[in-house]
Amino acid sequence: MEFANISLNVIILLLRVAVVLLLYYFLYQVLRAVVRELRSAAQNPVAAGGQSPYGQLVVVRAGQSGVAAGKAFPLGPSNIIGRSMENCEIALNDSFLSAQHARLEMRGDEWFLEDLHSTNGTFLNEMEVRDAATVEQGDIVRVGRVEMKLT
């Protein structure tokens, strides 16, 4: 009987040690992933919010979105602007925005802005965009209550 009691204690001790080792292994993997992401962001400043070769949209008037005026959103070749954090490259917290409100896309050497059937419309220099419209440097894009300048 005492032999069974000792072997049960040994098994419980081994299980405790295994759980602690698995916990340390898990923490090691998390730390490794964080370090890898930080190194990747340091090597690729565009992904980390730095300058983009395509330019940027700079917030001129933030409305009630909570975004600071002057905040710059680096652009890629195609950018969805809207309220959805998962599906938009430029996500803004404005109740007047649709989940996917507008698309700003580079075609050749020109930028084009198109409304994605939003409820409140998309505006370029105070003119409503119905079809794809050409956007020039310095133009003001308004979605919801947020105005941004293409630079």
pLDDT band at 137 (very low <50, low <70, confident <90, very high): very high
Alpha-carbon distance 47 to 75, whole Å?
10
DSSP H helices, the chain, are: 2-43
pLDDT band at 41 (very low <50, low <70, confident <90, very high): low
Mean pLDDT of the chain: 88
15 token code pair:
């299980």
Look up the pTM and report it.
0.64
Percent of the chain with pLDDT over 70: 91
Q: How many CB atoms are closer than 10 A to CB 91?
A: 19
DSSP 8-class letter at 151:
-
Residue 48 has pLDDT above 90, yes or no: no
- Paired strand residues for 122: 143
